[in-house]
Amino acid sequence: MMRYLMLTLLLCVGTLPLADPAHAIWKPKQEIESLDKLLDLVQQGRVEQSKENKEREQRFLAQKSKQEQLLQEAIAERKKLERRSELLETTYAENKEQLDELTRRLEKRMGSLKELFTHLQASTSETANLLQHSITSVEYPSRHLEMEDLSDLLGSNRSLPSINNIEQLWFQMQREMVESGKIKHLNLEVITTQGEPVKADVVRVGAFNLLSGNRYLQYIPETGKVIDLNRQPARYMLGYVEDYTQATEGFNAVAIDPTRGTLLNMLLDAPDFVDRVEQGGFIGYVIIILGAIGVILALERIMFLIITTRKVSDQMRLQEVKRDNPLGRIMLTYEQHKKLPLESLELKLGEAILRERGPLEKHLTMIKIISVIAPLLGLLGTVTGMINTFQTITLFGTGDPKLMAGGISQALVTTVLGLSVAIPVVFFHTLASTRSKAVISVLEEQSTGLVAEKAEQENS
């Protein structure tokens, strides 16, 4: 490599004088010096390599006379190691046969006890796991470690468990059964949702739940700590908890988790109303806004029509004509134009009814449109959500059915919102439309009666 580099440098230096002077490139002095230094370094490295090769040759020549002796020593060492290897292999085979024989003798002497110890080991492992995850461990924190040591002893086959070991297993199982039927008031360190440890009065309900004040607590087996839940169940359940923790005597109702935390975690993971609305996304918010507008308009129309119907009914019983109701205005129109011919009077009354129809049917069309659009928007949101769900399945596969079910559940939220808006809006629209038609029918009936009365007067 060094020789190749030196040849390259010599060729480069040799071609410089042959270059055209008119096209020669001026090189700074520093660069020229660096190239000279590089050449010196290459030459120095070559000299050092040559010196090292000579030293190797001298060492080889110095030890040449000893090569045969070293070879014989290596051969002797190899034979010695081979004999030792054969001896170890023989010893290993003998020990293995002896171990197999002792194992057979042990199994023969144990007889049915082997199956008993197998069940004992399984029971010990299950008990250790049960004690570790039990909330009673807040009072007895290290008992599961004893069961784990006993389980390791049974699985090692080095020695048999003693009577004391078996009695200890029985004692721990019996104590867990006794503690699961007790209700105790304890003073424990509780980790709040802000991560701060505080002392609190805690009620342990058997082996099921830990309660404090008006909230549920959770025991973490890995750390042995009691923490406050980030989310609590419904308020009515917390009301039971508060009454139960403050009670001093008598019987009090409280909701407990018989699965020792599984149902409570599932209940807390379930989305509430706000979470469901957020799952609906933009389309869900649009549906809610349309529903609010539709309900407000429908309630305003219903209140207006109720008041108008009452005023029209009062006008029908009164002899005095008032302008604060549609029927009164129709009767005033009749009084103003009763001297006109019958056909003209009928047209004037029809025109007055048309003027009254507008305020009576105001916003009804908008309410009806909202009742139709809401479920369609819900269907649109569902289709969009299903598309996103299938895209997720395409990317990550169907190995997690929970992921697919969650996506479908979110997609159906908009359909629920659409139907939840459409059903009451349709009901309110029907109610308002019925009252509006009833008032218009009264106006037409009274108008026809006035025209008929006018016709009878002219005929007489």
Whole-number pLDDT of residue 460 = 67
pLDDT confidence of 16, banded at 50, 70, 90?
very low
- The mean pLDDT value for 100-123 works out to 75
Between 94 and 26, whose confidence is greater?
A: 94
> Burial of 443 by CB count in 10 Å (0-12 exposed, 13-18 middle, 19+ buried)?
buried
Asked whether residue 14 carries a pLDDT value surpassing 70, the answer given is no
For 258, the token pair is 């018989």
What is the structure's pLDDT at 9? 41
Is residue 260 within 8 Å of residue 134, measured between CB atoms?
yes
Is 154's pLDDT higher than 80? Answer: no
Give the C-alpha separation, 76 to 94, whole Å: 27
For helices 326-337 and 401-459, angle between their N-to-C axes, nearest 10 degrees:
30
Confidence grade of residue 28 (pLDDT, cut at 50, 70, 90): very low
Q: What is the pLDDT of residues 315-329, one digit of tens each?
A: 888 777 788 888 888
> Average pLDDT, stretch 404-413?
75
% of the chain surpassing 70 pLDDT:
87
State mean pLDDT over 131-138. Answer: 84
pLDDT computed for residue 29 by the predictor? 44
pTM of the model: 0.56
What's the pLDDT score for residue 1? 44
Q: What's the Rg (C-alpha) of the chain? A: 49
Min mean pLDDT across 76-85, 104-113, 205-214, 369-378 is at 104-113
d(CA 457, CA 10): 138
Mean pLDDT for 63-73 is 73
Residue 6 has pLDDT above 50, yes or no: no
Give me the residue spans of the domains in the chain: 1-10+30-61, 70-110, 281-459
Question: Of the given ranges (27-31, 217-221, 362-366, 433-437), which has the lowest mean pLDDT?
Answer: 27-31
pLDDT, residue 287, reads 92
Question: 234 vs 133, 208, 216, 369, CA distance in Å?
Answer: 25, 18, 11, 37
Lowest mean pLDDT segment, chosen from 64-68, 133-137, 229-233, 383-387: 64-68
* Three-state DSSP state, 264: helix
Q: What integer best gives the mean pLDDT of the chain? A: 79
What is the distance between the terminal CA atoms of the chain, rounded to a whole angstrom? Answer: 138
Instruction: Please state the rounded mean pLDDT for residues 1-26.
Output: 41
Q: Which of 102-116, 195-209, 333-347, 428-442 has the lowest mean pLDDT?
A: 102-116
Q: pLDDT, tens digit, for every residue of 258-279? A: 887 777 777 777 777 777 788 7
Segment 157-180 shows an average pLDDT of 81
Per-residue pLDDT tens digits for 80-92: 999 999 999 999 9
pLDDT score, position 419: 92
